[in-house]
Amino acid sequence: HSQTGQQRAIHPYFDVAQKAIENNLPSGKKGLKQKFVYQKAREGQGKYRKGVMAKFKNGCLLTGIKEDYLLHACHIIPYIHPDATVKDKINTNNGLALTPTAHKLFDEHKISFDKNKLVVADNLSAEVNKNLGLQPGRVFIDMPKGCYPYLQWHLDRFNERN
């Protein structure tokens, strides 16, 4: 029964999986309790995100998606990389607005930018290129020029890996 007293819907897979989870809890405990979990927060990142999103008013560079909850403020030089200075970590020129999929491609050096032109790794499948609309050489007129030095850093690592 749920907290409201209604019986939950029966689902052949999930009911079995839920019972297996409950049966593996320490004896006498049914269900799970909520816990408060502390996690590290990156200092200055709220302001960084707002600044990156303000810079990229048209949303994700690749997709044009504008919904804030679907966008990441991505560091070009990764926050945890030894090359990233304290200034780089909060500088909005070291940021792009990307959807999670585009962010993953960027972090994995499957895509990069030569100033405002898209560069795509040769080892991406034709299916990925087609489905994500990745067009090598595509020009992004909205790319802030302040991002260029950071993008050059990323492009150098892209070229090393591809």
For the chain, 162 residues long, the average pLDDT of each consecutive 10-residue run is 44 56 59 58 75 94 93 94 91 96 96 97 93 92 94 97 93
Residues 6+ apart with CB under 8 A from 103: 72, 74
Q: In this predicted structure, what is the pLDDT of residue 99?
A: 96
Each residue of 22-32: pLDDT tens digit? 666 665 555 55
**Does pTM surpass 0.85?**
no
